[in-house]
Amino acid sequence: MKIVKKDGETIIALEGRLDTVTAPELANIVKDLEFKKLVIALEKLEYISSAGLRALLLCQKTADQKEALMEVKNPTAAVANVMKMSGFDKVLTIKEE
């Protein structure tokens, strides 16, 4: 997990798997971050489990509380598929570049 701050954006790049083991870390980190806009980059995320989806929801909730924006960027095919299947694409702001 890499965190970069750039032009008022906080970018978190995820790699590998976001599952029961790794998901709580993401939620906790985001909770403690200060940001106006949070971008979660998923180019290198191979797999997301339901716990991972929940972590994204928690991030969104955190962002809402901080009155900040959050977007999910460039999910891989597998991850995009899961998001579509679970209806997350309707709730999260997903951007493709």
43, 72 contact by CB (below 8 A): no
For 71, the 3-state DSSP assignment is: strand
Return the range that interacts with another protein (CB under 8 A); candidates 2-10, 37-45, 68-76, 83-91: 83-91
For residue 79, give both structure tokens: 């991850």
51 is a contact residue toward another protein (CB under 8 A): yes
66 is a contact residue toward another protein (CB under 8 A): no
- Measured between alpha carbons, how far is 41 from 3 in angstroms, rounded to an integer? 10
Return the range that interacts with another protein (CB under 8 A); candidates 3-11, 37-45, 47-55, 66-74: 47-55
- Measured between alpha carbons, how far is 25 from 34 in angstroms, rounded to an integer? 16
Binding site for another protein (CB under 8 A): 20, 49-51, 53-54, 57-58, 61, 84-88, 90-91
